[in-house]
Chains A and B, each alone.
Chain A
């Protein structure tokens, strides 16, 4: 170690608290960067590999029914690399306790190597072509398998057209299209208790579902250079005679879209959060060095006098910043790697991904180190530029007393006169160290904002939950039938003991043609006396379903570029029965935070179908305490596909909320580190610079507590200004964040409860106070005789 390095090393040891505080901020940034970007990288990498290896299809076509031979026609098109035909159908499953769940039966040809969207077996084995028994072998998605506590060889009962059929569980498997296994985009979250993927051999599926030699879904993989637009039109032409219900590219596939949304969100956090931390870290290092150079003026003069070059001295000081950066980087990387395992586990609970989705990303570590070095170097050299100006001879004379200029407040004499001497000192000290004050204030503002954002997620989700579960829909049970039924069948349900009220609905898949484009949408039809569901318009005001026309979902309206009052054409897409097209008016727009769907009157929906009084499900209000009894009874009724219990939906959601706790705790911890570190640093510097002044007022008779109070005044200014500016800034960041993560599937409202502002303010005050307490421990140790003896 050279002499100069030794000098810096000793400085670090002597001012360890300051060093640690500055390094902690770097650590925060690098930790977020390494862990989040590892998660981002791993998730993306795992997805891409999985998609490639299991041949995730480029395009999806849903049909009413078509002969298998149609696949050959599609494969022959120039530019189509491969096409797979299969059956996909939702069945109602009767579980052991008579509860219902939905099985999405998907068929696969054996051997699987030739098809698209291949399976990867996780546990157990794959299904076999012929097993010689009545029941079909099924491979389940791991989440459903686990949530329902199933075992190999277990039998599952499902209903097809009123008849019971049986599946035997032989394994669990994942597929690129069910990484995020959510039933449809009307759901907020996957509910593995209620919905599972049932993977079955093709012949068996055809047999069970009564579709011999037929398929209802076509998956297509294009050649890399093929014109997808032209090809999809050609494929649609081929499939049109078989009742083309829907077609969409990979990016609109539900699982892919959800995964992409998660990745986008992750990328946003990976960029923004570390950037904030590292920028503040750079500012702190800059301020520390500037002060160090100021107090070591005489030493610098001496070094120059002996013959050191400016650059040598500058590098010497930059070394401090580099040391801070490197210490922070090492700690950040270690913690980041640790947390990347945590995040990986967290994502593993959401997503069905292969096991090679793991650990940290070495590239993030290298980038992290380079980032830190760059920050240390840049802040170090910019801060030490002041070295150049120091003249050796002049620098070794004591510095003249600091010039205390007038502060802004002094231009209001009536206010200034009312201030105590302590406040005057504080104000002038701030005025003299404007740069440091600004950096500290910035740190406090960010940490307040970070607290607001951490708690905001709770508020937004809670608000959404209130809206969605308690105001939006107030049913106790929601039933879906496996086919359309006459409304009068509802009488049976309303006669069940405990049922207070029944409100039927009809879910009608349609394609809306507006302007030059079209969008697939589900029309949700309710009767005129709807009480169990509340809708709201663009501005959040309640809105009623009109007798004529539709209330279009805001997001769909935006995609189609149509407005209230426009006329659109609605094409019905029921898997059975003829297709109808009719023109309707957009009477209003509805806002929905979760899921999609547009609203129509039940009568009018029936008119669209040219039917009368058909429904597809019903919402029930049940006497208190009788929900499970009623649910059990309904489960035994034929034709019931699924029963949703409001209570259980909320429980599932609350379960999910619990997984957010740790993420929020981490954010709060970051905010605390940031606020603490920056205030601690500022206070320590303040104390060191004003040693003599403090010694002097101690001698006059100020107690340690009073001196501490005097120094605290400056932190009070930081806190008050930081909170005043940080709260609205936090809200602004929250809304920018929401804008960046809003997708077609979901959005969060920018709702921040007053409690959150209060928490952020109180939290900030707490760690500023703690930082202050830590930093002023030095006052007690101050040797009064010593600091007052010499002029400098």
Chain B
């Protein structure tokens, strides 16, 4: 079956100018992301995974090379194009949740819902992430796992084509981490949403359709995984 390319990174380089020295976080990296897949990017810290994800998510622009989303080059479009792209196409899940402390769980999700024309039904999403009974609580009144579930709900409410997860289990304990991974897998399978997940946890690679390994600012290997296992079966 011919796989459809959702996003393409073409010889992307990202250099950070740190005054006297220049740090090359990504070196001429190319990558294709296919529609509906779950792509796990593995690598030690400092290997450039977060930089890659930031470029994919339109949070940053490459120093050279192109980031193409559905035939549109988002790396050269400027602030308006990036904002529009983030607003309509991408959902983000962070390691440290990044919820708005002044908004309740439900309101945090609403904040994102207000941005798009046809958001998914809030109550349904909250139910899906298992927080329908906690929706009037503030982030400060919730556990890490609960906060991360809100963060996921906030990301998917816009019904994005691409869900980018930056170490989503990094701040969570083993059990809670697995619950979050199951939730992401479910979203990937049931909603057909493309999920890119970056982690330094090699065991998580087993749940991806494909696994990319990074080292020193480069993708060194991409492996196909014809039989991804369910998150429940992963041990670390």
Interface residues of A (CB under 8 A from B): 400-404, 420-422, 424-425, 428-429, 432, 692-693, 695-704, 780, 784-785, 788-791
Contact = CB atoms under 8 A, between A and B. Distances in A.
B140 A700 contact: no
B107 A424 contact: yes
B102 A428 contact: yes
Contacts of B112: 700-701
Contact of A703 (B80, B96, B103): B80
Contacts, number: 100
Contact of B86 (A428, A432, A700): A700
Closest 4 CB pairs of A and B: A701-B87, A428-B102, A696-B98, A421-B111
B114 A420 contact: yes
A520 to B, nearest CB: 70
B6 interface: no
Given A697-B111, A702-B115, A784-B60, A424 B87 contact: no
Given A400-B140, A700-B92, A784 B100 contact: no
B190 to A, nearest CB: 22
Contacts of B87: 700-703
Nearest to A420: B114
Nearest to B164: A699
Contacts of B139: 401, 404
Given A700-B112, A703-B80, A785-B54, A428 B140 contact: no
Interface centre among A401, A424, A693 (most CB of B within 10 A): A401
A399 to B, nearest CB: 11
B120 to A, nearest CB: 15
B102 A429 contact: yes
B189 interface: no
A701 B79 CA distance: 11
Nearest to A407: B102
Contact of B98 (A424, A692, A701): A692
21 contacts: A401-B138, A403-B138, A420-B114, A421-B103, A421-B114, A425-B100, A428-B102, A695-B98, A699-B57, A700-B92, A701-B86, A701-B115, A702-B83, A703-B80, A703-B87, A780-B79, A784-B54, A785-B51, A788-B94, A788-B96, A791-B96
B176 interface: no
B178 interface: no
Contacts of B90: 701
A696 B100 contact: yes
A432 B139 CA distance: 15
B218 interface: no
B76 interface: no
Given A701-B87, A701-B158, A785 B94 contact: no
Interface string B94-124: 1010111111000100111011100000000
B92 A402 contact: no
A699 B100 CA distance: 13
A777 to B, nearest CB: 14
Contact of A785 (B59, B100, B111): B59
Contact of A404 (B88, B92, B102, B158): B102
Contacts of B116: 701
Contacts of A699: 57, 59, 86, 92, 98
Contacts of A785: 50-51, 54, 59-60
A402 B79 contact: no
A497 B112 CA distance: 85
A424 B102 contact: yes
A712 to B, nearest CB: 16
Given A428-B102, A698-B83, 10 more contacts: A404-B103, A424-B102, A425-B107, A429-B102, A699-B92, A699-B98, A700-B111, A703-B83, A703-B87, A790-B96
Given A403-B138, A699-B57, A785-B60, A428 B103 contact: yes
A701 B83 CA distance: 5
Contacts of A697: 100, 111
A439 B84 CA distance: 38
Contacts of A428: 102-103
Interface in B37-83: 50-51, 54, 57, 59-60, 79-80, 83
A420 B110 CA distance: 9
Contacts of A695: 98
Contacts of A789: 50
Interface residues of B, number: 36
B52 to A, nearest CB: 11
Interface centre among A421, A700, A788 (most CB of B within 10 A): A700
B12 to A, nearest CB: 15
Nearest to A432: B102
Give the secondary structure class of A's interface: helix
A700 B110 CA distance: 12
B154 interface: yes
Contacts of B110: 421
A634 B60 CA distance: 87
A408 to B, nearest CB: 15
Contacts of B51: 785
Contacts of A422: 111
A403 B99 CA distance: 12
Nearest to A704: B79
A425 B139 CA distance: 13
A790 B154 CA distance: 20
Interface string B182-209: 0000000000000000000000000000
A429 B140 CA distance: 14
B96 A693 contact: no
Nearest to A701: B87
A159 to B, nearest CB: 83
A402 B111 contact: no
A699 B87 CA distance: 8
A698 B90 CA distance: 12
Interface in B133-180: 138-140, 154, 158, 171
Nearest to A421: B111
Nearest to B154: A700
Contact of B140 (A402, A425, A701, A780): A402
Given A403-B138, A699-B92, A700-B92, A693 B114 contact: no
Nearest to B100: A693
B107 A421 contact: yes
B11 to A, nearest CB: 21
A706 to B, nearest CB: 8
Contact of B115 (A402, A429, A700): A700
Nearest to A400: B140
Contacts of A432: 102
Nearest to B94: A788
B142 to A, nearest CB: 9
A702 B107 CA distance: 15
A701 B87 CA distance: 4
Nearest to A429: B102
A397 to B, nearest CB: 14
Nearest to A430: B102
A788 B98 contact: yes
A404 B140 contact: yes
B67 to A, nearest CB: 14
A704 B103 CA distance: 20
Contacts of B100: 425, 693, 696-697
A121 to B, nearest CB: 72
A420 B107 CA distance: 9
A791 B114 CA distance: 26
A43 B96 CA distance: 66
A425 B102 contact: yes
A607 to B, nearest CB: 82
Interface centre among A401, A421, A698 (most CB of B within 10 A): A421
Nearest to A791: B96
Contacts of B86: 698-701
A425 B54 CA distance: 26
A356 to B, nearest CB: 60
Interface centre among A696, A702, A780, A790 (most CB of B within 10 A): A696
A55 B107 CA distance: 80
Contacts of A401: 99, 101, 138-140
B50 A425 contact: no
